[in-house]
Amino acid sequence: MRLLHPLLLALSFSLETTAQRCWRQLTCTGPSAPSFPGPWDVQNFAPASRTLQPKRILSLPAGALLSQYPGPAPLSRNGSALVFDFGLLVGGLITLTYTSTGPGRIGLAFSEARDYIGEWSDASNGRFRGPDGAVYGTVNGGGRGRYVMPDWALRGGFRYLTVFWTTGAGARLEVQDVELEIAFQPTWADLRAYQGYFHCSDRMLNRIWYAGAYTLQTNAVPTNTGRMVPMLNRGWANNATLGPGDSIIVDGAKRDRAVWPGDMGVAVPASFVSTGDLESVRNALQVMFDYQNKDGSFPEAGPPLLQQNSDTYHMWTLIGTYNYMLYTDDTAFLDKNWAKFQRAVAYIADKVEDGLLHVSGTRDWARWGQGGPNAEANMILYHTLTTAALVATWTSRAPPSLAQSYTVQASALRTAINAQLYDPPFNSFKDNTTRTALHPQDANALAILFNITSGPRSAGISTSLTKNWTPIGPSPPELPGNISPFITSFELAAHFSINQTARALDLLRRTWGWYIDHPNGTQSTLIEGYRTDGSWGYRRERGYKDESYVSHAHGWSAGPTSALTHYIAGLDVIERLGRRWSVRPQFGDLRFAEAGFVTRLGKFRTGWRKVEGGYDVEIETPVGTEGDVVLPVLSAGVMPTVMVNGAAARARLAAGVEMVLPGGRYNITVR
C-alpha cells in the first residue's frame, strides 16, 4: 500500500486524466486515428482511454446488480465484498482510492467469466498446485488512502474485480474510486485507431468480428509483462520478458502470456484485417528466430516458457513469417532471418520418409494423438512448403533454384497425402496411415483450406465435417467433448474457400454466436475453448486441471475476423502489400457487407449491397495495384448485365462474373 502526499495525489490524478497515451514510458508508434471511421465504430469494443473505470457494482455470491458505477461502495464489516464489473474484458493495473475508519487488509481478486467472481481469482499461474488467490493492500489506519497494484501483479485479462475487506478492528472501508490502467496494445495512444473495419447486415456477425479484433488487442502486450516461469505454486506474477521491442502478441490476455506460433496461424491474418498491428507480430516472430535451436528447430513457445518438441508449431512459425511478409514486405526482417528460415524448412522437410512427414516433435494444440505420419502435420507441411517457395522469391539471399525445389517437394507431398491418408468410404482423411477410424477435424479442414484437395473431394470433406457438429460447435474426433474455436477457425475458412457460404455462416453462428451472447462470458472477446455440454472446462481431461484456467480472450479463436473480411466482404491480398488483390464476395443470407484494411500501399476497401433486381459493389484500392474480381451470378450459368462506373464491363462468365481491374475506385452494378 502506498499513501501518497496529497500534492502527489493531485499531480498523478491530473496526469491520468490526459485521455490518450501509451503504456508507461513507451514511444507511441501505433496509428493515431482509425483508417476507416464510420458508423461501424459503435461496434468497436476498445475503450477510448487507457484509464478506465468499472461500469457496475455487483454483490456476492450471485452477482446481483447493486448500482451503476460510480455508486455507494461500502465494505462495512470484516468479510464484506463488492464486485466491480468493467462490462468488457480488460487488463492492467488497478488503483483503489478509499477512506477507512481503521486498519485492515483490502483484497483484490479477478475473473474473466462471471462464474468465478469472489475472493479467489480464476486460475492463471499454470502450476495447478495452489490458487491464484488475490493481491492485498494493507490499510494502516483511518482516513483517505490509495492502493496501487505492484507491477508484477499485473492482471492481463479480467472483466470482474472483487474487492474484499478483512479487519480485526471492526473498521469500515468505503471504496471511493476504482481505476484501471490498461496495459495492452501498449504503443497505441488511441486504442480505437483500427486500421481495418467490417460491417454487414447481421449485428451478431459484426459483434463477433469486433470481439476478434479486441481479443487481439488484449493479446498485444508490453514485452516485460509475460507470465512468470518457473510457474508459481500460489498467486501469479506477470513480469517476465517475452522478446524484443515494446509490444508483442501472445496467446491470451490472462494466460499464458507467451508467444505461441500455432496461435499466430489464426491471429496474424486476423490482426492484419482488423487492428492492423503487425509490430507485435514482428516481435513475436523475431523471438522465435532468436531462440532457434542448433538443429534448426524452433521452440514450441517463446521465452521464458521455451517449450520444445513441436513439429507443427515449428511449421506455424514459418507460415507466420510468410503471412507477415505478405502483409508488410518487410525485406529487412526477411533478409536478417533468411538463413534461419531456410534451415528451419530443411529441418522439417528432412523428416519426410516414403513421401510423408513423420512427426517426431509431438507436442501440438491439444489433440490427443500426434506422431508418425500424422495427417494434420502433413497438411501443415504442404502449406509450409508452398508458402516457403513464395518467401524464397522475396529475398535476394535465396539461391535461385530453391523456390522450385520447395515447390517440387510440396507437389510430391500432396500426391502422397492424397494416396496414403485419404479414406474414400468416409469422404475424409484419416488421422494417419494406420487402420484408424479417426477422421480428424483439423486435417480435413486444412486439406480443403490449403488446396491439398479440390473439386468433389473438397466438397465431400466439407459435408463430412458437419458430422462433428453439435448445436454449439464441432466436437473434434481428435479431442472429443471439447470445442476448439482455433481448429474451427480453419474449418470456417475451409467451407468459405469452396463457396459453402450457408454452411460456413451456420458454423460461425452456432459456435462463436453461442459464446458472444453467453451471460457468463466476457461479451467482448473470444474464448480459447469450451465443452460440448456448454460448460467452460475445455481440456479438463487434457492438462487443464481447473476449469477456470481457460482463457476467455485467446487470439487463436479470431478466425471469423479474417474470414468475414476475406470471404463475406470478399477482400484479400494476393501479392505482397496487395500489389495484387482480390474481391470475391459471398452473400449468404446477408443484405450487405463491407470491409477495408491498409497496407503500406494505401487503403483497400470494398462493399456490396443487394438491391431490387441484383446488387451493387464498390471497390477502392491504391493506384498502381491490380485485382481479380469475381462476383456472384444472379442465376446459374447466365451472364448478368454488369456496369463498371457506368460503362458496360469487360467481364467473362466462369466461376462467377470475372474481371481484372487496375487499382482505383469503382462502382459496379450487377442486374
Which amino acid is present at 617?
Answer: V
Q: Are 95 and 124 in contact (CB under 8 A)?
A: no
- In angstroms, what is the minimal distance from the CB of 323 to ligand NAG? 11
Using CA atoms, how far apart are residues 75 and 64, in angstroms rounded to an integer?
16
Contact flags string 92-131 toward ligand NAG, x per CB under 6 A: -----------------------x----------------
Q: Does 304 bind ligand NAG (CB under 6 A)?
A: no
Residue 324, SS3?
A: helix
Q: Are 441 and 447 in contact (CB under 8 A)?
A: no
Interacting stretch for ligand NAG, rule CB under 6 A, among 84-92, 346-354, 395-403, 627-635?
Answer: 627-635
- In angstroms, what is the minimal distance from the CB of 15 to ligand NAG? 25
What string of DSSP letters covers 480-507?
A: TTEE-HHHHHHHHHHHHHTT-HHHHHHH
Among 99, 418, 470, 520, binds ligand NAG (CB under 6 A): 520
Minimum CB distance to ligand NAG smaller for 555 or for 632: 632
Q: Which residue is nearest to ligand NAG (CB)?
A: 369
Minimum CB distance to ligand NAG smaller for 32 or for 411: 411
User: Residue 573, Cα to own-chain centre: how many angstroms?
Assistant: 19
Q: Are 278 and 235 in contact (CB under 8 A)?
A: no
- Give the count of residues interacting with ligand NAG (CB under 6 A): 32
Using CA atoms, how far apart are residues 374 and 357, in angstroms rounded to an integer?
8
Residue 358, SS3?
A: coil
Backbone phi, then psi, for 592, in 5-degree steps? -160, 160
- In angstroms, what is the minimal distance from the CB of 333 to ligand NAG? 22
Minimum CB distance to ligand NAG smaller for 84 or for 567: 567
**Among candidates 202, 274, 212, 227, which has minimal Cα distance to 36?**
274
Q: Does 506 bind ligand NAG (CB under 6 A)?
A: no
Among 78, 418, 470, 532, binds ligand NAG (CB under 6 A): 78
Binders in 428-487 for ligand NAG, by CB under 6 A: 431-432, 434, 436, 438, 450-451
User: Residue 244, Cα to own-chain centre: how many angstroms?
Assistant: 20
Distances (CA, A) of 319 to 63, 336, 341, 652: 44, 17, 10, 34
Among 293, 499, 610, 643, binds ligand NAG (CB under 6 A): 499
Q: Does 369 bind ligand NAG (CB under 6 A)?
A: yes
Q: Does 237 bind ligand NAG (CB under 6 A)?
A: yes
Using CA atoms, how far apart are residues 421 and 271, in angstroms rounded to an integer?
33
Binders in 632-661 for ligand NAG, by CB under 6 A: 632-633, 645, 655-656
Interacting stretch for ligand NAG, rule CB under 6 A, among 88-96, 129-137, 595-603, 628-636?
Answer: 628-636
DSSP state of 257: -
- In angstroms, what is the minimal distance from the CB of 119 to ligand NAG? 8
Among 71, 74, 79, 613, binds ligand NAG (CB under 6 A): 79
Q: Does 630 bind ligand NAG (CB under 6 A)?
A: yes
Q: Does 321 bind ligand NAG (CB under 6 A)?
A: no
DSSP lists the bridge partners of residue 652 as 658
- In angstroms, what is the minimal distance from the CB of 206 to ligand NAG? 22
What's the count of helices (H) and strands (E) in the chain, helices before strands? 13, 32
Distances (CA, A) of 328 to 180, 269, 281: 34, 12, 11
Q: Does 233 bind ligand NAG (CB under 6 A)?
A: no
Minimum CB distance to ligand NAG smaller for 293 or for 433: 433
Q: Are 643 and 596 in contact (CB under 8 A)?
A: no
Backbone phi, then psi, for 184, in 5-degree steps? -75, 165
Minimum CB distance to ligand NAG smaller for 191 or for 443: 443
Minimum CB distance to ligand NAG smaller for 299 or for 440: 440
Distances (CA, A) of 417 to 268, 437, 505: 27, 17, 29
Q: Does 372 bind ligand NAG (CB under 6 A)?
A: yes
Among 20, 239, 395, 463, binds ligand NAG (CB under 6 A): 239
Q: Does 59 bind ligand NAG (CB under 6 A)?
A: no
- In angstroms, what is the minimal distance from the CB of 319 to ligand NAG? 10
What residue ranges in 121-154 does DSSP mark as E strands? 135-139, 143-148
Residue 533, SS3?
A: coil
Using CA atoms, how far apart are residues 224 and 257, in angstroms rounded to an integer?
10
Residues of this chain that interact with ligand NAG (CB under 6 A) are 78-79, 115, 152, 166, 168, 228, 237, 239-240, 369, 371-372, 431-432, 434, 436, 438, 450-451, 499, 501, 519-520, 630, 632-633, 645, 655-656, 665, 667
